[in-house]
Amino acid sequence: MSNRRTSLRVAEVIRFATRREEHIMDSRKLSHTVWECKYHIVWIAKRRRKVIYGTLRKEIGHIIRKLCEYKGIAIVAGNAGMDHIHLCIAIPPKYSVATIVGYLKGKSTMIVCERYGKRKRNFRGHSFWARGYYVSTVGRDEEQVRQYIRNQETNETIEEKYEPPEDDNLF
């Protein structure tokens, strides 16, 4: 009987060690740190205007990917809606979430306003995104978050048919 218990315990230890190795393999490494910090982040356009469509939508996706690449942030999943951005990103522990969101929103605003704005200089500051954001940690439910972000894309197909009025000024 005790031999059987021992073999069951050994099997449990092996399963636990295997799960732990898989978890560590999913993690990333810094010089003295092994980490896995994933966040679901959502922010909206100023006044919830439906301005993210067509070439601007592709451009914003490219801008955010480049900005994340510069900081060493991995984008797990992402989607640009008509009036908001969904991201599931892995942020290294050397950065705070607020710093990264401020960086992404601020730099993307500067680039978008420079490329698409009518004024080349604006000494009062640019505003493309609203002030706040939503953030949630992603743990074991990472697949649910990915699925939710993917489903946002299917919900947006109806809104993509939206035609803005000709006199609608983005900035």
Angle between helical axes of 54-71 and 97-116 (0-180°, round to 10): 140
Q: Which of 95, 133, 148, 162 is catalytic?
A: 148
| 148 among known catalytic residues | yes
Q: Which two tokens stand for residue 39?
A: 């966040």
Residues that are catalytic: 148
